[in-house]
Each structure stands twice: as structure tokens, then as C-alpha cells.
């Protein structure tokens, strides 16, 4: 079995509650959404086929036991399931970043699903698969990418509607160079909202450099 991969790289995890840890990344090709702020548009079409064994060899070449499978949208490819399962059996911590439009329940237990809930600013809210919320595990994480004040208020309403803070960790990330990190921090503090503020650490270190 193979997967179409845009890039394999080793870097610092710039997002999620694993922010700052060394991590092996598998960026899969293809995406079914077109978010207005997307910073990985090259993953829509670029990529080449890798056998699962090739991907595993790359991951094994680094000492870190943290792996992130991202995209694009990883759940578009069936091979992501055996890849994740194989990594879990080898003792890896596996994060899968998904855009929230496809069912997450198919992923193996033990995978940490970092699931976007698309705010209106993305232009993709109507593509959300809302049933996913009922499949969230305590180890999973939900991410809201916030463009402006309207997105922020909308995200607060979704948190309340689905009682997300009782289900898993909730992350708020500003759209890079569109919403100031301090502004979002002040909104969170003013409202005493128990979410995790998530800057994209890799962008502060390397800017928009690919493979980082």
C-alpha cells in the first residue's frame, strides 16, 4: 500500500498541545477544502507515491517518538489508517491534523485527532461534519482558526453549544499576519475563556519556509 505524500520532514511541532517538541511530519497530498487563509496550497496537487515502509523508514531515522500526519487532508487517503496503526504499535505518539469535514471515527483508537472546526472566516463552515464532535476522545484536540472578532464570537457559541470544554482540549489560533496574537489573547482573558492560545510557533522561527 502507498500514500501520496507532499513532503516528509523533521521539525519542531508548531501547533497543538505538543507545541515545541521535536516531531517527524508526514504531509499528505490532496485537500477537499479551500480555506481562504490556507498556507499549504502546494499540498493540493503536489506529491509522489511512497510505500508505507518508506514512510516508516523516514520516521525511524529520527529519535523522536512524536509523529504528525497532516496535509492537505489526511483522511482522503485510506492508507492513513494502516500507517497510523503501524506507528501506534511501534510506540509512537501519533497526531493527525484533519479539517473536520470527514468522519474521524475510522481512525485507530489511540490516535490524537487535532480537528479543525472551520470558522466563517475560512469560507468552509458549511463543509463541517458535525457528527465528529460526538466521536471526540479526551485525548483529542479541537482547533479554531480565528480571522476576526466575528470568528471569535462564533467559536465561543460553538464551544457552548457542544460543550466542547468537557469533551477535549480546545485551541484558538489567529490567522497568521491577519489577527494580532495579543488581540486574541486579550479577548480570551477578558472573557475568561478556558481555551489554549496557540501561536504557529514554526512561523515565528522560520517564517513560511516549507518543510518547517
pTM: 0.95
Confidence of residue 177 (pLDDT cuts 50, 70, 90): confident
Q: What integer pLDDT is reported at residue 6 of this predicted model? A: 97
Chain-centroid distance, C-alpha 194: 20
Query: Residue 58 is part of a domain; what is its CATH number?
Result: 3.20.20.70
Is residue 14 classed exposed, middle or buried when 0-12, 13-18 and 19+ CB atoms within 10 A define those classes?
buried
- Arithmetic mean of pLDDT over the chain: 96
Q: What integer pLDDT is reported at residue 188 of this predicted model? A: 98
Confidence of residue 212 (pLDDT cuts 50, 70, 90): low
Q: Note down the domain range covering 32.
A: 2-206
Q: Is the pLDDT of residue 206 over 90?
A: no
Q: What integer pLDDT is reported at residue 1 of this predicted model? A: 86
Instruction: Please give the tally of structural domains in the chain.
Output: 1
What DSSP letter does each residue of the chain carry, written as one string?
A: -EEEEEEEEEEE--SSTTTTSEEEEEEE---S---TT-S-GGGGT--EEEEHHHHHHHHHTSS--EEEEESS-GGGSTTHHHHHHHHHHTT-EEEEEE-SSS-STTSPTT-EEEEE---GGGT-GGG--GGGGGG--TT-EEEEEE-SHHHHHHHHHHHHHHTGGGTSEEEEEEPTTTS-HHHHHHHHHHHT---EE---HHHHHHTT-TT-
Q: Summarize pLDDT for 73-113 with one digit per residue, the tens.
A: 999 999 999 999 999 999 999 999 999 999 999 999 999 99
Mean pLDDT to the nearest integer, 34-52: 96
Question: Is 212 contained in some domain?
Answer: no
Q: Is the pLDDT of residue 120 over 90?
A: yes
Amino acid at each position: 500500500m502507498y500514500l501520496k505524500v507532499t513532503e516528509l520532514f523533521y521539525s519542531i511541532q508548531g501547533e497543538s498541545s505538543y507545541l515545541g517538541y521535536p516531531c517527524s511530519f508526514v504531509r499528505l497530498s490532496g485537500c477537499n477544502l479551500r480555506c481562504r487563509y490556507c498556507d499549504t496550497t502546494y499540498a493540493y496537487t503536489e506529491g509522489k507515491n511512497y510505500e508505507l515502509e518508506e514512510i516508516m523508514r523516514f520516521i525511524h531515522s529520527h529519535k523522536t517518538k512524536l509523529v504528525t500526519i497532516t496535509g492537505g487532508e489526511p483522511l482522503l487517503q485510506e492508507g492513513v489508517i494502516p500507517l497510523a496503526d503501524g506507528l501506534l504499535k511501534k510506540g509512537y505518539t501519533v497526531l493527525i491534523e484533519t479539517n473536520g469535514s470527514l468522519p474521524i471515527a475510522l481512525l485507530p483508537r489511540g490516535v490524537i485527532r487535532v480537528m479543525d472546526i472551520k470558522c466563517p472566516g475560512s469560507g468552509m463552515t458549511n463543509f463541517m461534519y458535525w457528527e465528529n464532535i460526538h466521536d471526540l476522545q479526551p485525548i483529542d484536540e479541537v482547533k479554531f482558526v480565528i480571522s476576526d472578532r466575528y470568528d471569535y464570537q462564533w467559536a465561543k457559541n460553538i464551544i457552548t453549544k457542544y460543550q466542547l470544554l468537557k469533551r477535549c482540549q480546545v485551541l484558538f489560533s489567529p490567522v497568521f499576519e491577519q489577527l494580532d496574537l495579543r488581540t486574541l489573547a486579550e479577548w480570551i482573558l477578558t472573557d475568561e475563556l478556558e481555551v489554549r492560545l496557540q501561536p504557529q510557533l514554526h512561523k515565528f522561527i522560520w517564517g513560511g519556509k516549507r518543510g518547517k
